[in-house]
Structure formats: C-alpha cells, structure tokens
Amino acid sequence: MENKDILTDRDITEHTAAMWKYNPVPEVPEPYPEDMTGEASDGIFEISAASVRGKKHKHDGSNRDDSFAFEFFGDGVIAVVSDGAGSKKFSRIGAKAACDAAAEYIKIAFPALKRRIPDFVKKLGMPFDSSDFGEVCAEAAAILRGSCAVAFDAVEAACDKRKNISEFIEAVGREPEIKDLSCTLLTSVIIPVETENGREFFTAAIQIGDGIIAAVDERAPFDSALAVMGAADSGSFAGETEFIVSDNIRSDESLMARTRVRRGKMSHFMLMTDGVADDYYPNAPQLLRLFIDLGLNGIIPINGGEAPEENNENIPEPVAYPWVNDSDVKYSLQYAKNILSANGIALDQLWENKALQKKASLAEHGIVHEKDRAEMLKVWLDNYVERGSFDDRTLVLITVK
C-alpha cells in the first residue's frame, strides 16, 4: 500500500480555521455584545480583562455566555468570572448577574470586616499556625461563601424579572426558569500583607464549575512558579459541570469544600473560563505556557533575559489564521508551543530562557496590534487557534506592581 503524507497538527489547524463562519449576535431576546474588555489600576494591582464570543457561537449566530467583573477595595482587589451554560438559553444573563452581585457584595463586606477587626490585614500576615491568622482567614473565606449566596439570589431575581416578558417566553416556549440562567462562578480576593518574609499576597478563592484560578510568580523557578487554586467542579455524571443554581451547591458545607486560601509571593494572578483553561491542559504546568504566550504576544512584558544567548536558537515566525469575523483579516500571533518544537526544548527550559522569549516575541518582529493592554488581550483571545477550541474565552489578568 502506498504511504501517504501524514497531516501535521499545523496542516489540520490551517484547514479547519477557514471553515468557521460568522453570524451576528441575535437581536432578541436581550442580546449581549460580541465582546467586552476592562482595565484598571490602583497603584498596587493592574487589571486587564477581556471576554470574546467563541467560534461556535459566531458560527451558530448565538450569544456570548461568559462574563466577568472586578473591583478594588481599601486593601485589595476582587475578580470574578462566570461561564454561562451553553445549553441554557439565558445563561449569559445569569453569568452577568452572578459576577456583578458577587463583586459588589465583597466590595462592601471586606471594608466592613476591617472596621470590625481593625488589625485584620496585619493578622493576615501572621504565621500560618497562629490563632490570629486562622481567625481572619476563616472570616475572609466566609465572605466568599456569602458572595455565592448573593450571586444565587441575583440570578434568581434576574429570572423572575423576565418571567412575564413575551420574548423570553417565546424563546423557550414557557416561562423562564432559574435553570435557564445556569452559570459557573469563580471568585477571588487578593490582599497584600507584610510578613516575616516581606510583602506577600493573601488570596481567598472559591470555584463553582469549570475554569481555572491561578497565581504565577515570574521570578520563581519553573517548579515553584505556578499555584493553581481549586479545580474544575464536576457534576453527578462524567463531563457534567456544576452550576451556581444547582441545589447541592448552596449548602455552607458544599461551599467550604470549594474554597481555597493561599499566601505567598506572586507577580500575576489569572481567572479564566474553560474556553481558555481547556486549551492549556493539564493546567499544571501548562498554565505557564499560557503565561509565556501572554508575554510573546505583547499583553504583559517579558522581564529578564538581558544576558546574551547562543545564536543557534530557532525563532519561528508568528502565525496568522483568518479571523472568524472577517476572513480577509489576519492577526499574526506567536505561540510558545512553536518555539518549543522549533528548538526541541521542554517547557521548563523555555520558562528559564527569557532571552529566547523576547527574541521570539511579536515586539521583536515589529508587530503591535493594540497599544491598550485589554484590547490586545481581546485580539489574542479572539484569534489564537487551538485544535478543538471553539468556546467563549474569558480571562482576567491581574499584575502586581
């Protein structure tokens, strides 16, 4: 039998990338924007966030279901992301209601806690085994659990508000039910604290459903640079995701099992829906490849690597595929996996080689798509290509100054 050339991953990706079609967001009921971005800074934290409509939604002419929210408060920052269930007609409404409600609740609750416990932040910096740290850690975790209850109430209220509106009834052939607004919820609070080891960051996080919350320290060696907080939450059956409206989620015991706390060094913090997280699996350590991709594509600076490197490194050219929204438009992007392949190295080697990252970056190729960081994040989310990836993509990126 005659041997045929085997198609490479790149060959297949180039073929399938051109097959996606673009259809606009439907006009009713309650259409959501094609994408959303957000950017803010408070002197300690810099936030860049973006959410884009997935290829499948564009192809089908359906809404983007993801959402995010962030807020600053006196001592820290709040970040929330939510992924509306793709099979539920109004999940986008639930996702937005949950994000906004959780962020607003935490923004009020933490300053109130500090008024009640004036040395709250100081206690967060005390030794892990001290009773003072345990006390305030438990208080912080309780606030996050409370935010989930408030988020559920907000989703329920959003459903009730739309029950007597004809366009919502027509969309599902009945009165809307809360399950039609099903969504995940990933929430984090970050507070800078002074410890015996200098400045560290206390983080409390709670995760309902899939997606990922992670801290990264770009200064740390590969083996200690990533801390994943929580895990994708599964339902009763394989492949099933839990949602905030699920009955078994609402108990305090259930929420406690989904809560994580951490204190340590970090340079960046990320919350993302599964549309991004699934493209970097297994998340430990592949989220460090995601971090490198953010640097390669100009979303965050690549720090370090000023020392001269060998000249025998292979620098792959950036890759451009047709943009789903307009096939005549192509955005050149750089991929860490292409650098790994071209040089025959492992991810840990690329992590340590900041000079190679810089030489392969878009900036070194003279490519700058957007000067605004959140807009550049949006461009990247909307255009990077991965086999089997077609869901909404949402990423909240927090940089420590």
- Tell me the CA distances in angstroms from 207 to 119, 176, 361, one per residue in order: 28, 26, 33
**What pLDDT was estimated at residue 262?**
96
Beta sheet of 185-195, edge-to-edge order: 66-73, 76-83, 185-195, 198-208, 259-264
**What pLDDT was estimated at residue 238?**
39
pTM: 0.94
Pairing between β-strand 212-216 and β-strand 226-228 as defined by DSSP bridges: antiparallel
Q: Which two tokens stand for residue 302?
A: 């690549």
Strands (E), 62-150: 66-73, 76-83
Give residue for tokens 């279901």. Answer: 65
Q: How far is the C-alpha of 223 from the C-alpha of 225, rounded, in Å?
A: 6
Rounded to the nearest 5 degrees, what angle is found at the Cα of 146, between the Cα atoms of 233 and 118? 125
Q: How far is the C-alpha of 91 from the C-alpha of 207, rounded, in Å?
A: 17
> Tens-of-pLDDT digits for all 401 residues of the chain?
445 566 666 667 776 777 899 999 998 999 999 999 999 999 999 999 999 999 999 999 999 999 999 999 988 999 999 999 999 999 999 999 999 999 999 999 999 999 999 999 999 999 999 999 999 999 999 999 999 999 999 999 999 999 999 999 999 999 999 999 999 999 999 999 999 999 999 999 999 999 999 999 999 999 999 999 977 765 444 346 789 998 888 888 899 999 999 999 999 999 999 999 999 999 999 999 999 999 999 999 999 876 555 567 899 999 999 999 999 999 999 999 999 999 999 999 999 999 999 999 999 999 999 999 999 999 999 999 998 999 999 999 999 99
Bridge partners of residue 208, in order along the sequence: 185
**What pLDDT was estimated at residue 308?**
54
Q: For 9-400, CATH number?
A: 3.60.40.10
Q: 381 near 395, Cβ under 8 Å?
A: yes
**What pLDDT was estimated at residue 354?**
96
Kind and range of the H or E run holding 400: strand 393-400
Q: How far is the C-alpha of 181 from the C-alpha of 95, rounded, in Å?
A: 7
**What pLDDT was estimated at residue 236?**
45
Q: Where are the domains of the chain?
A: 9-400
DSSP symbols for 343-362: HT--HHHHHH-HHHHHHHST
Q: 260 near 206, Cβ under 8 Å?
A: yes
